[in-house]
Amino acid sequence: FTVEAKAGRVAIPDLKLVLKEPSVTARLAASVEWDAEATRVALDAREIEAWGIRLEALRARAEEDRGRSSATVEVRWGREGGPSFEATGRLGRENDLTVRAAVPDLRDPLVRKLLGGPAVEGSASLDLHVYGTIDRPDASGTVDLRGITAGGWDPVRLVAALRTEDRTALRLWAEEATPYGKLAFDGRVTLPWIDPKPRVDLTAALESTDFSPLLARIDPEARPWVPPGKLTATATVRGPVETPVWWVEGKFESARFKPPEPLGTATGLRASARFDETGLRVESVEGALGGGPFRGQGLWEAWKKERPFALHVTGDDALVIEDELARIRIKPDVTLRYSATRGLWLEGSVE
């Protein structure tokens, strides 16, 4: 590459950048100019390619005003209709910087590469205002997620507020009505320039009494066995940003439920469960069939191909058959099982 230098100016007009991890290539042009009043820095990146994906050009400009002990900043990248980023304003004795980022389509190849995991559809945007001072910056803004869906689930919109806390972490919080119920979340991420190994602590809570969107996702044979009621679920993501641990804990209550024939009416149903990398563990189920108490525990191994489910149930004097011809009470010790290939079946013993 070539370096051009003269009084008050140094420039590199053409520099080939090649990174192996992450896989990025680009052609750069940079310059620094200065005089008694200001220093001006310019950077242009073109022919940018990341992971084999061709990207738009980047333009960045900064000018330090020595008299005001501040600098104006302008950074722009992206294209209309595609992912974009811009930061414009002033940093220094009094910050006044606006940061905007937009992803009109989360299916964009670059976004898919960055996100990884299951394919997510929808759009996202960020609007952030940085204030305070250069050595003690603060920020506040919003994150807007629209039409977020994956795997055919009903789309969700979520608008989250965000702000810095104690100048060490970024906090996000929101409360929205969704097709699945009332959703609220609150989370904190430590800032990478404060903590070299940033951590996340996020909790999201859902309250729902309408299970129709969920019922549409499960096997038709299993739907009649899902009682109406109230579901409260809390999801947690915690730990280092690079390797967080996640789990979901839920509680369910149903005052009255009529399962498929010939079982009797169930009352006072209560259940608690935990969903994590091992599957859905039913920690407890209890209630009464025709006044006879029962209890159970089980596991749905949702990540396995056959999605096997087993629920072990015991009880005393449970009303299992209730029709015009007979009323039969039993003491069950049975397991309700399910697999994608075989469907539902029951095994065990009764007295």
DSSP notation for 203-256: EEEEEES--HHHHTTS-TTTGGGS--SEEEEEEEEEEESSS-EEEEEEEEEEEE
Nearest C-alpha neighbor of 144 from the set 120, 170, 126: 126
- Rounded mean pLDDT, 219-245: 90
CA neighbor of 92 nearest in space, from 67, 62, 64, 70 = 70
Average pLDDT value over all residues in the chain:
90
Query: Residue 225: its pLDDT value, please?
Result: 83
Mean of pLDDT values over 306-315: 91
307-315 contacts, C-beta under 8 A, 24 or more apart: 307/338, 307/339, 307/340, 308/337, 308/338, 308/339, 309/336, 309/337, 309/338, 309/339, 310/335, 310/336, 310/337, 310/338, 311/282, 311/285, 311/335, 311/336, 311/337, 313/285, 315/289
Over range 41-50, report the average pLDDT: 96
Mean pLDDT score, 13-33: 94
pLDDT band at residue 192 under the 50/70/90 scheme? confident
pLDDT of residue 215: 82
**pLDDT band (50, 70, 90) for residue 81:** confident
- Looking at the DSSP bridge assignments, the partners of residue 40 are 33, 63
212-220 average pLDDT score = 81
Mean pLDDT for 125-140 is: 92
| Ramachandran bin of 56, using left for φ above 0, alpha for ψ from -120 to 50, beta for the remaining angles | beta
Unique residue bearing structure tokens 């404060």: 194
In this predicted structure, the answer to whether residue 145 has a pLDDT above a threshold of 80 is yes
With a pLDDT cut of 70, the percent of the chain lying above it is 99
Confidence grade of residue 116 (pLDDT, cut at 50, 70, 90)? confident
Residue 175 in tokens? 């409360």
What's the CA gap between 179 and 212, in Å, rounded?
9
**How many other C-beta atoms can be found within 10 angstroms of the C-beta atom of residue 162?**
20
pLDDT greater than 80 at residue 322? no
Average pLDDT (5-26) is: 93
Distance CA 40, CA 10 (A): 11
pLDDT band of residue 152 (cuts 50, 70, 90) is confident
Query: Are 181 and 210 within 8 A, CB to CB?
Result: yes
pLDDT computed for residue 282 by the predictor: 93
Helix, strand, coil shares, percent, the chain, to 5: 5, 65, 30
pLDDT value for 127 = 97
Kindly report which listed range (299-308, 317-326, 340-349) carries the lowest average pLDDT score.
317-326
Question: What is the number of residues in the chain?
Answer: 351
Task: Map residue 2 onto helix, strand or coil.
Answer: coil
Single-letter amino acid code for the residue at 152:
G
Is the pLDDT reported for residue 195 higher than 80? yes
Using DSSP, state whether 214 is helix, strand or coil.
helix
Q: Give the integer Cα–Cα distance in Å for 166 and 187.
A: 14
Contact 40, 60 (CB under 8 A): no
- Rounded Cα gap, residues 318 and 329, in angstroms: 5
Residue 333: phi and psi, rounded to 5, are -145, 75
Phi, psi of 15 (to 5 degrees): -130, 125
Neighbours of 28 (CB within 10 A): 18
- Which of 49, 50, 10, 12 minimizes the C-alpha distance to 28? 12
pLDDT value for 33: 96
Q: Is the pLDDT of residue 200 over 90?
A: yes
Collapsing DSSP to helix, strand or coil, 344 comes out as strand
Q: What is the pLDDT of residue 105?
A: 95
Q: Residues 193, 180: contact at Cβ < 8 Å?
A: no
Give the pair of three-digit tokens for residue 125. Answer: 């945007």
Task: Report pLDDT digits (tens) over 241-267.
Answer: 889 999 999 999 999 988 887 777 889
User: Phi then psi for 213, rounded to 5 degrees?
Assistant: -65, -30
Mean of pLDDT values over 95-111: 94
**Residue 80: which pLDDT band, with cuts at 50, 70 and 90?**
confident
* Unique residue bearing structure tokens 């129709």: 212
Number of Cβ within 10 Å of residue 83's Cβ equals 21
Q: Residue 117 pLDDT > 80, yes or no?
A: no
- For the cut 80, the answer to whether the pLDDT of residue 48 exceeds it is yes
Q: Is the pLDDT of residue 350 over 90?
A: no
Weakest-pLDDT range from 130-139, 151-160, 314-323, 330-339 = 314-323
